[in-house]
């Protein structure tokens, strides 16, 4: 049977590893040597579980969306990660990593953020734990995700604009890594997705795996079986998808489907559909699929959704894609925006633009009437209201 | 086999100066002019930087020069063509330094063959892991008579330094502090301690210290503790301020007081 766990050096098949300059070697080695020991310890597990329950608000509901189900002729459930404290799945990972950082004696937490959800989650947990927090965010994202910038500041974090390159998530990640190189002793870098050098992809996937753990239990209670026919999630770096897929990876009955951001379209050059058009290379410390020029320069990604606007993807997804264990489809900006409005009007839930990419797959798959489908609703849409307003001004003015 | 880096260290054991520049900056075709100017000013080694879109270990100066170089159209292929043109006239050893991804896309074996053909003597790829070098690529470097230079930092453990020393060739690049390139903090006592610790390990390879060398004092420090020094950002800054390569280079060495420092130490 195929293993979906990385090997000791952090490889999923040929993807993963740790391609870092020597300046980060000690920090990465410290994490590699300790992460499993720490997160598998009873004390850690207890504290993690208790914070997930009482602070994050887990388990999140698994909601049978009756109107969507009727429309798409299947039993469609929404895994309500949007109901996590701070409004997205990102908090699961941050709680885990900050607990780990504390055990490594780190007093200063840094993070990169795209949509601002991971930044807000990090600022939140740092406020709770009394740790210093610095968040790097692309200058362009600071413009389009203002509410989250304000939230981070209110929570006491320093928000630093990344002005290099495309001024989005990739560049924020570069700046966070550079800061870490310059301040390795006191700092832990909380990466917000299943990307980066080993052990980050595995560590983040483990912290997010609570999503599929709960889905299984909830389905058992509601449907009398643990396995859905489909799990659908959006993929930026791949953390919410990794969490939603995790406990189903070895269960071949479950079809795993990812939605990546096509931006304006995969042929337009303005896209973030890494798994569809990317090629093998190194980005941010791991070997994976990425969007690059023939000369190996990393290309700028384009997506209306800041959280998916990334030219790489986690090595787990590169592996699942190559081995065809999971399928990934590109969803355009327009399709995602339509799906966001559809969910708002049919179920009374305003989704994050990222999550809307997953919803946009519903009309494309062709379900059997008895199919049980779980869509991971990774976040809520409050942060995206400006974008929604801009694109649907007419609909808003007629309200 | 004859290698210019080996030769250099056989000939000279102290006050060795290496200068890094970003190929394609300030102009696409500045490469030859910069190399001539550096050689004329008595530089012992030259590191030719392959520009990369996402230079993780670099500070603002190398980021900016890389962006300009890429905008100017620099590629690995173009660089090799430029080096082809000058190989018979240049005697100073050339080292290519860059990030792994562009080299992987070019093809590691092809890269090594092509580098050797245009007279390159060594390569530095800071994000190539030791294990991968040993397991996959070492043969290509050795087969093409290229030295592969690894970095160590103040945080590198003694065991790891020994391992790096055992598979490095040419020299070891001692990063002066935990930092990205271009910091101008000066030398602290802990840095001096670190360089002395490295020296006392009696490694097979000579030691060159880099990152943050930017002034007469820092250069003098470097020369007193190890075999030589590497300067990058400080030189590129001069080129940023004055695009006349020959003049900028001359000014740079005057300000650095290079001739005097070298004389006083040897
Ligand atoms: C709500 C939401 N969903 C999804 C993502 C994409 O990240 P990942 O692919 O790691 O889940 C983000 C990232 O910011 C997000 O905020």
- Asked if A165 and B54 come within 8 Å (Cβ–Cβ), the reply is yes
Does A59-87+208-389 carry CATH code 3.30.497.10?
no
Residue nearest to atom 6 of ligand 1 (CA): A236
Kindly identify which residue of chain B lies nearest to residue A294, measuring between CA atoms. Answer: B105
Please give, rounded to a whole number of angstroms, the shortest distance from the CA of A32 to a CA of chain B.
Answer: 15
- Closest residue by Cα to atom 5, ligand 1, is A307
| Centroid of ligand 1 to alpha carbon of A153 (angstroms) | 20
Taking residue A392's Cβ as centre, other Cβ atoms within 10 Å add up to 14
Determine the distance in angstroms separating the CA of B182 from the nearest CA of chain A, rounded to an integer: 11
Q: What is the pLDDT of residue A98?
A: 98
- Chain A residues in contact with B127 by the CB 8 A cut-off are 19-21, 282, 285
| DSSP bridge pairs for B97 | B49, B124
Question: Is B54 in contact with A285 (Cβ distance < 8 A)?
Answer: no
Residue B152 forms contact with A (CB below 8 Å): yes
- Residues of A designated catalytic: 90, 112, 378
Task: Output the furthest CA–CA distance in chain B (Å, rounded).
Answer: 46
Q: How far is the CA of A233 from the centre of ligand 1 (A)?
A: 10
The secondary structure of residue A246, as a DSSP letter, is: G
CA A35/CA A217 separation, integer angstroms: 26
What contacts A50, CB < 8 A, 6 or more positions away? Answer: none
> Measured between CB atoms, which of B53, B132, B179 is closest to A297?
B53
Question: How many angstroms does the Cα of residue A377 sit away from the middle of ligand 1?
Answer: 10
Whether B164 and B175 have beta carbons less than 8 Å apart is answered as no
Interval B143-193: pLDDT, tens: 999 999 999 999 999 999 999 999 999 999 999 998 999 988 888 888 999
Residues B185-235 have pLDDT tens digits of 888 888 999 999 999 999 999 999 999 999 999 999 999 999 999 999 999
Pairing of strands A372-377, A75-80: parallel
Which position has the token pair 């579980």?
Answer: A49
- Nearest residue to A383 via CA among A144, A157, A118: A144
How many A×B Cβ pairs under 8 Å?
Answer: 98
Which ranges in chain A are annotated with CATH 3.40.50.1100?
Answer: 19-51+90-203, 59-87+208-389
Give the pocket of ligand 1 (CB within 6 Å): A 88, 90, 114-115, 117-118, 193, 234-241, 307-308, 352, 354-355, 378-379
Please tell me if residue B183 touches chain A, with a CB cutoff of 8 Å: yes
Nearest to A161 by CA among A138, A135, A192, A191: A138
Q: Which residues of A touch B (CB under 8 A)?
A: 9, 17-23, 25-26, 164-165, 170, 174, 177-178, 181-185, 281-285, 292, 294-298
Task: List alpha helices for chain A, DSSP H.
Answer: 25-39, 42-51, 66-72, 90-103, 117-129, 139-144, 146-154, 169-182, 200-208, 210-223, 239-245, 274-277, 315-322, 333-347, 353-359, 362-365, 385-391, 393-397
Q: In which order are the strands placed within the sheet that holds A187-190?
A: A158-162, A132-138, A108-113, A187-190
In order of their start, the domains of chain B are 4-265 (3.20.20.70)
Nearest to A114 by CA among A89, A135, A94, A132: A135
Phi and psi (nearest 5°) for B52? -135, 145
Sheet strands side by side (includes B94-97):
B147-148, B122-124, B94-97, B45-49, B16-22, B228-231, B207-210, B172-175, B151-152
Q: Ligand 1: distance of its center to the CA of A339 in Å?
A: 16
Contacts of residues B250-257 at CB distance under 8 Å and 24 or more positions apart, as own/partner, are B250/B37, B250/B41, B253/B41, B253/B42, B256/B215, B256/B216, B256/B219, B256/B231, B257/B216, B257/B219
The verdict on B180 touching A (C-beta cutoff 8 Å) is yes
Q: Which residues pair with B228 in a beta bridge?
A: B16, B208
Residue with the nearest Cα to atom 10 of ligand 1? A239
CB A257 within 8 A of CB A241: no
- How close does chain B come to A396, measured CA to CA in Å? 40
CATH class of A19-51+90-203: alpha beta
CB pair distance less than 8 Å for B126 and A22 = yes
CB A48 within 8 A of CB A98: no
Test A25 with B160 for CB contact under 8 angstroms.
yes
CA angle centred on A248, ends A209 and A111, rounded to 5°: 25
Alpha-carbon distance B150 to B130, whole Å? 8
Residue of chain B nearest A279, judged by CA positions: B105
Alpha-carbon gap: B107 to the closest alpha carbon of chain A (Å) = 10
Of A81, A330, A75, A315, nearest in space to A200 by CA: A315
Separation of CA A354 and ligand 1 centre (Å)? 6
Six-digit token string for B102 = 């562009």
Contact indicator for A109, A190 with CB cutoff of 8 Å:
yes
B175 has a chain A CB within 8 A of its CB: yes
| Contact yes or no for A350/A340 (Cβ under 8 A) | yes
d(CA A173, CA A153): 19
Handedness of CA A63, A69, A75, A81 (dihedral sign): negative
Q: What's the whole-model pTM score?
A: 0.97
> Which residues of B participate in catalysis according to the annotation?
47, 58
Q: Which residues of chain A have pLDDT under 70?
A: 1, 393-399
The answer to whether the Cβ–Cβ distance between A178 and B52 falls below 8 Å is no
């Amino acid at each position: 049977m195929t293993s979906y766990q990385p090997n000791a050096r952090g490889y999923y098949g040929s993807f993963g590893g740790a391609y870092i300059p020597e300046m980060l070697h000690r920090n990465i080695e410290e994490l590699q040597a300790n992460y499993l020991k720490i997160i598998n310890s009873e004390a850690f597990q207890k504290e993690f579980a208790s914070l997930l329950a009482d602070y994050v608000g887990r388990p999140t509901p698994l909601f049978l969306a009756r109107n969507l189900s009727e429309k798409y002729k299947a039993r469609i459930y929404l895994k309500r990660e949007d109901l996590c404290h701070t409004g997205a799945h990102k908090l699961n990972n941050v709680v885990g990593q900050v607990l780990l950082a504390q055990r490594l004696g780190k007093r200063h937490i840094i993070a990169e953020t795209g949509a601002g959800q991971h930044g807000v989650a990090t600022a939140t947990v740092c406020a709770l734990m009394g740790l210093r927090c610095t968040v790097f965010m692309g200058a362009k994202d600071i413009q389009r995700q203002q509410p989250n910038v304000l939230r981070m500041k209110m929570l006491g974090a320093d928000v630093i604009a990344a002005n290099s390159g495309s001024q989005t998530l990739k560049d924020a990640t570069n700046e966070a890594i550079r800061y870490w190189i310059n301040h390795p002793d006191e700092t832990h870098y909380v990466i917000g997705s299943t990307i980066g050098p080993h052990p980050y992809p595995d560590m983040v996937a483990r912290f997010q795996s609570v999503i599929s753990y709960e889905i299984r239990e909830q389905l058992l209670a509601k449907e009398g079986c643990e396995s859905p026919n489909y799990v659908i999630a959006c993929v930026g770096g791949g953390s919410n998808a990794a969490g939603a897929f995790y406990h189903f990876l070895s269960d071949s009955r479950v079809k795993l489907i990812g939605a990546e951001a096509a931006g304006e379209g995969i042929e337009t050059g303005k896209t973030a559909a890494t798994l569809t058009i990317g090629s093998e290379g190194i980005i941010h410390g791991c070997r994976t699929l990425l969007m690059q020029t023939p000369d190996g320069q990393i290309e700028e990604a384009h997506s209306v959704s800041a959280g998916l606007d990334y030219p790489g993807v986690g090595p787990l997804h590169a592996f699942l894609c190559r081995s065809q264990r999971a399928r990934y489809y590109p969803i355009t900006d327009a399709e995602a925006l339509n799906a966001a409005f559809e969910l708002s009007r049919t179920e009374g839930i305003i989704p994050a633009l990222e999550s809307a990419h997953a919803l946009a797959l519903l009309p494309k798959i062709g379900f059997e009437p008895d199919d049980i489908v779980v869509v991971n609703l990774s976040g809520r849409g409050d942060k995206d209201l400006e974008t929604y307003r801009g694109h649907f001004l007419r609909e808003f003015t007629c309200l | 086999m004859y290698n210019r880096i080996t030769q250099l260290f056989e000939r000279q054991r102290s006050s060795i100066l290496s200068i890094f520049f970003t190929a394609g900056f300030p102009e696409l075709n500045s490469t030859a002019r910069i190399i001539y100017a550096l050689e004329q000013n008595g530089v012992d080694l030259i590191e030719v930087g392959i520009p990369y879109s996402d230079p993780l270990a670099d500070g603002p100066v190398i980021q900016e020069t890389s962006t300009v170089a890429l905008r100017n159209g620099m590629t690995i292929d173009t660089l090799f063509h430029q080096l082809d043109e000058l190989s018979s006239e240049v005697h100073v050893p050339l080292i290519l330094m860059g990030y792994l991804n562009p080299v992987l896309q070019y093809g590691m074996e092809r890269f090594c063959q092509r580098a050797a053909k245009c007279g390159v003597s060594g390569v530095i790829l800071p994000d190539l892991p030791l294990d991968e070098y040993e397991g996959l690529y070492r043969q290509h470097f050795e087969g093409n008579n290229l030295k592969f230079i690894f970095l160590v930092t103040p945080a590198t453990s003694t065991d790891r330094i020994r391992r790096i020393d055992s598979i490095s060739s040419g020299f070891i690049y001692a990063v002066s502090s935990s930092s990205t390139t271009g910091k101008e903090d000066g030398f602290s006592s802990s840095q001096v301690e670190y360089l002395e610790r490295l020296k006392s390990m009696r490694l097979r390879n000579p030691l060159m210290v880099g990152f943050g060398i930017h002034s007469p004092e820092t250069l003098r420090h470097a020369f007193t503790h190890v075999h030589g020094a590497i300067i990058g950002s400080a030189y590129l800054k001069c080129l940023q301020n004055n695009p006349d390569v020959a003049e900028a280079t001359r000014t740079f060495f005057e300000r650095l007081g290079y001739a005097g420092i070298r004389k006083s130490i040897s």
